[in-house]
Amino acid sequence: AQKITQTQPGMFVQEKEAVTLDCTYDTSDQSYGLFWYKQPSSGEMIFLIYQGSYDEQNATEGRYSLNFQKARKSANLVISASQLGDSAMYFCAMRELDGGSQGNLIFGKGTKLSVKP
């Protein structure tokens, strides 16, 4: 069965420093996608970055990058130059890309990031 594991319930980072949020996944599918979402205290789910299992390069979106290590089944999120507004819950998620349920995501339990001034 598919599973997403986020082992860091909470993390602190100093403003302007970089931080890595860990995510490991388990799947027997060859074709899948990995997502990171940010959930601020206001509650909405904000899409940050996507990595496909066949993408050869690590995904980047502005200050966000995804450190994809397929053999280790890890998809860590790196936030560079942290800002106070980055304080939020961060969720890693995975989607099957084959089969009838390809619209659905499996989520980890999340990491709460707190940025210190």
Partner 1 sequence: NAGVTQTPKFQVLKTGQSMTLQCAQDMNHEYMSWYRQDPGMGLRLIHYSVGAGITDQGEVPNGYNVSRSTTEDFPLRLLSAAPSQTSVYFCASSPGNNEQFFGPGTRLTVL
Stretch that binds partner 1, among 11-19, 46-54, 60-68, 80-88 (CB under 8 A): 46-54
Nearer to partner 1, 14 or 104 (CB): 104
Q: How many helices (H) and strands (E) does the chain have?
A: 0, 12
- For the bound state, the minimum distance from the C-beta of residue 64 to partner 1, rounded and expressed in Å, comes to 15
Which residues share a beta bridge with 89? 39, 112
**The one among 19, 75, 88, 93 contacting partner 1 by CB under 8 A:** 93
Instruction: List binders of partner 1 among 26-45 (CB under 8 A).
Output: 33, 35, 37, 43-45
Handedness of CA 67, 69, 75, 76 (dihedral sign): negative
Q: Show the tokens assigned to 53.
A: 């299992």
DSSP for residue 70? T
9: helix, strand or coil: coil
Q: How far apart are CA 107 and CA 34, in angstroms?
A: 10
Stretch that binds partner 1, among 11-19, 23-31, 77-85, 99-107 (CB under 8 A): 99-107
Instruction: List binders of partner 1 among 65-84 (CB under 8 A).
Output: none
- For the bound state, the minimum distance from the C-beta of residue 82 to partner 1, rounded and expressed in Å, comes to 22
